[in-house]
Chain A
């Protein structure tokens, strides 16, 4: 310790003897400036990201059906109140003109959707949506085209049966459509409440009913995807239903879609626009002009199963 104190004293003495006041003041000023600029906390405020109005489309064409349930909407600036009364674009308010392959779409004011009973959707056909509308005073225009899958997709075991929770036997079997490698499945219980929630699940077994109620939607709506499969194999594919897709006791409805490339691009990219480091990127939305959302086609089929207590 004595040696250390001698050392410090010696050092201080040396500095004192040799110090040049002008240089010392310059050095201190510079050091202080560097420290000050190197101090502090940086705030982050992203509220002013520039907003651009868009025509938002949510439209699916199903082979074997007529065109219906097409929603034309608008987007909203993030971080400001959403006026849901202006969400849907209507012919009267927004001067909407919408066609598919040149056939005008009609507007249903009750469901706020567009339809055409004149168009029966066929397999392997291309349909082009064309929309004109006025949003925020700006005349917007967009087009998008979809090519429907070829015939073939169907669920083989539409009534899958009853299973105990976490059963490894829960499996849906389907035949693919030739040329379609993407299949999406919605797995949703017919009833989803805190009363029929599976509290002794294998993932989160410390949940109480308040936790479940808070995130009920997230537990209720689940899905599975098979992508890139060999659609020409001529054999059936099995889709195991996993435990993290069934959070409630009771009956479930599985809707399977053999989706076209627009369907695939939307499902795989639109909900995943944030990267691991927080940065955002653009999804693949197949629209020309001022459109976003999804205009896709699919073959749909339905199955059911039950989770017993």
Chain B
């Protein structure tokens, strides 16, 4: 519904997610957008079913850790019953599957299905980060270091299938040997191990060592590197999601327990195999292509995956700059930074404060969350001069946001209802709203908005303030909307002044596909203001 008030929408800081270059537009329109929109609709569906706090798509990383825990604990139990010899391995697995089905069998099934679920979760994690463009720019490190972890997980799965020593294990072992033989260092010697009479317990023990210790330790190290540039890493999955996932895996384990093929026999060739396609999909390729060709394709895919953050390069805006003249060393910016870009050190300027923040520009995402956490970012300070704060974005300083707010309020002066939207540039594009009683000010992240701006805007004439961030729990910069919500609730500094009426503003979280919901929010505010003015 068009508003009768003819006041131009004030726009500031238009979305800078994609630069207006051909490469960026191709990436956006042909690769990101189709997947992103599909993902966002599924995401909305999950939000309805699970609620935002338990939406599995927001916890894919911690869900992967949770599944790894299940794999680890079930694996430890299996190891107790497992016989690491060629003759004993199959029998010991059969014993736990059939004789001790109620515990050993369930543990084996949990081990299998949690491993499979892990691959699904990791693939969803990759698709999600890709479609939401959360792998380029300052995020290159996490993406780049994640790829080796994917292969480590696959190798763990493959080596696990060897240990059962059934016909599937035999097929996997021979296929793996063919792959290794294609490498110069093996050159044909590996496959000969798997001819009848050639295989020894020592080789089998080596494989058990690789699966039980070597690869898990490497994966643990890889995961540590993967999250190295993040703060407050969520490795604990929400309780409801953990319970639901575990129960689902347990029920599957009881209904469809993992079973083996026939015992391995090196005198015959396994003919029909129930492959685990999550882990063993490369082996059928060897029936159609040489091992060398399979290696080339694998290496090409891995390389492409790893260099994707530079296809094309996404330049991160200049890092935040500390102004010690306006810093009391409260360390809130250090507490709030999602990317470990800020550290605290002893004061260097001789001021009476003990500490000062130091920014590592290589890690800074230029999200501005630290600007929002600085107590000096209060717009009510020094109202007639340039607003200077303790830590600020060179490209989008806080005083420009204050200026934009003033300008917007001026433009809405003659409107019957004055609504100001502070919108993040990664959620729904609020700059497209053409209602004449609405002015939009775009921020890199709603976490950049000090709560005092809400008070400031309302004090200077706005009838309603709407803060539109990313979907709840899905902030592009991880914690922006969460920190702002806590600041508004008074749970995190800087807090919102208690005099501000909660009915005068709203904090919402929407994605690109949620424009209708944002319009509805605006209409609700408009109607509330009109109702109040009439009463």
A binds B: no
